[in-house]
Amino acid sequence: MATPDAELPMLTVAQAAQLRTLAAPHMQQDHEYSLRSLAQQCRHTPQERWPELVAAHFANLADASAGGEDAGELLRAAYPRLLPAEALTPDLAGAMSYARVVADGLVFGYALDGATSVRVLTDQDVARAGLQELGRAAYANLTQLPVEHAEVPLDGGALLHSVYGDSPFVASKALFLSELARQLTGEQLPDAGALVVVPTRHLLAYHPIADGTVVDAVNGLAAYAFGAYEDGPGSLSPRLYWWHQGSLTSLTVIDDDARTFSVQPPPKLLGAMKSLVGLDSAGRLATRAAAEPPDAAELSRTAGESLTCLMGDPAGLRDAFRSALALAHARCATDPDAARIDTWDPWAVAVQLGAALFTGADPQECRLGEDHAWQIPATPADPPADARAWLDAFYVCVVCRQRERLDRLCQVPLEVLRQDESVDEYVLHWIDTLQTYWAQRPMDDVAQKLITTMETSAPDTATSTPKDFVNRIDYQPVALFHRLITRDHDAFAEALGEALAHHGAYWGDSAAPRAQVALGPLAMASLAYDYGFPVELKQPCLPTYLLNRERIEVIPG
């Protein structure tokens, strides 16, 4: 195999030497030229046609450098232009003092789209048009630039949005990615932003950071960017970027000496990724995949298989709890009041497994129907660093009125749960509030911890969890608890109605198991009902016979 050239690896050493020979007569001593784009065109062109290709390339450059357009011409045909950092040669940088670095490897400037070529605008051009006027005109021109859009599914479920076209300004749309996404899909980008690549001037691809598939998207986009950058033409950047609140941050670290690439998300993004993976894996997010109706038989089979595995290996306890809880929620889709025994069974199993996960348990029988029982051996007390699973376990034990299990859950050291790196601080403060309350410590302590929970769940403080999830799902039990401890019946009723409305708004018409029951509000309503609050029993996503205790039976263990 022929050796690739060190500077133009898309060509062999011999081919690169020929290209440099052809280009030499066109070079000007006072200018630096990059041959990368030309080399990419030559790679796909028979070598006998290289002379005319090289001549046409430099003729276009000469035509583009003529300049002299008036302000009107500049405003009509100017566009924002992303340039690779290495293209900003000393002589070009000296003529473009207005240009700025927007991210590692990328420089922002303006360019004029001519009939046969594109010319980067200099300070003199900008002065003729006016910087602010030029910026507004270039933005308007870019907004109206037509592009093609395709959705590209990756292994693992990640979805990439590929945006491409003949224009050399397509990649510039990454600067205004939020507007582009809204134009293409009708949807806003998530609070966490998006992963984006701009491998060539004619192409960008992005992935909204909305669920656990972000991990697969990181790998997929990084490989995609590198391949497209190498192929060209019009190579721009091989890096993977994070678009967030209008800014681009490079996630790619390049070791020039070792010629290696690695992806290193900053702490803020890494925290959001961990949170999304945790939420998504437990079925807590209203994703497009979650909207599909679950297979009830498959959920039952999965729960049964998890219990079978537990009979021989307690390591699967967390997955078994998750499966039982999903089945408990899903059964309420066809039995919203939880009136039937086959609905009660998975709720009881979720109680057994959730408590055992954090506090250990003696041998116990778990039952999913009269003919399906599993003898689960003793489970050691080895609580995992999973704060949200603890909350689920607490909530189901409250709903199913399991006071002794709740006592044990509230003795789980908070230091263990604090090791969970996938949650924001407010989740841990909320657990601290519940543990303090259940232990019947002074109400002043409970109130102070509740205030801290509220303060740390504010949008500018909770940075890892999607804001919509914080507001519509996580915060609602907190608001209800506030009304509960003040014993304000009317305010509690109003807050419960709001919580259920938020639950419905978050899940929409999703058929996901978690959409069927508002677990946190159900737990708070169960406490209120037991305290004598006049709780309305017929409300959506609040199973009546769990709320009023009519379906509650003795749970072994």
What's the 3-state SS for 353-382? Answer: HHHHHHHCECCEEEECCCCCEEEECCECCC
> What is the three-class DSSP state of 157?
coil
Which is it for strands 100-103 and 159-164: parallel, antiparallel or unpaired?
unpaired
Tell me, what's the pLDDT at 53? 81
CB contact at 8 A, 524 and 302: no
Give CA separation, 182 vs 154, 187, 318, 377, in Å. 22, 5, 39, 53
Tell me, what's the pLDDT at 430? 98
Instruction: Give pLDDT tens digits along the chain (557 positions).
Output: 678 888 888 888 888 888 888 888 887 654 556 677 778 888 888 888 888 888 877 776 665 555 678 899 999 999 999 999 888 877 778 889 999 999 999 999 999 997 667 888 999 999 999 999 999 999 999 999 999 999 999 888 899 999 999 999 999 999 999 999 999 999 999 999 999 999 999 999 999 999 999 999 999 999 999 999 988 888 899 999 999 999 999 999 987 776 678 899 999 999 999 999 999 999 999 988 777 778 888 999 999 999 999 998 888 999 999 999 999 999 999 999 999 999 999 999 999 999 999 999 999 999 998 889 999 999 999 999 999 999 999 999 999 999 999 999 999 999 999 999 999 999 999 999 999 999 999 999 999 999 999 999 998 888 899 999 999 999 999 999 999 999 999 999 999 999 999 999 999 999 999 999 999 999 999 999 999 999 999 999 999 999 999 999 999 87
Which is it for strands 194-200 and 240-244: parallel, antiparallel or unpaired?
antiparallel
Query: Whose structure tokens read 């986009």?
Result: 221
Give CA separation, 303 vs 277, 309, 310, 410, in Å. 21, 10, 11, 26
Tell me, what's the pLDDT at 477? 98
CA nearest neighbour of 452 among 468, 465, 436, 464: 436
Tell me, what's the pLDDT at 28? 64
Residues whose CB falls within 8 Å of the CB of residue 268, separated by 6 or more in sequence, listed in order: 463
Quick one: tokens of 409?
């859950």
DSSP string covering 60-117, please?
A: HHHHHT-----HHHHHHHEEEEEEEGGG--HHHHHH-TT-EEEETTEEEEEEEE-SS-
For residue 161, list its beta bridge partners: 151, 206
Tell me, what's the pLDDT at 92? 78
How many Cβ atoms from other residues are within 10 Å of residue 393's Cβ? 28
Give residue 157's region: left, alpha or beta (phi > 0; psi -120 to 50): left
Give CA separation, 141 vs 81, 111, 163, 304, in Å. 12, 11, 17, 59
Distance, C-alpha 153 to centroid of its chain: 16
Tell me, what's the pLDDT at 30? 47
What is the rounded distance in angstroms from the CA atom of residue 303 to the CA atom of residue 320? 6
Residues whose CB falls within 8 Å of the CB of residue 65, separated by 6 or more in sequence, listed in order: 119
Q: What are the φ/ψ torsions at residue 354 (nearest 5 degrees)?
A: -65, -45
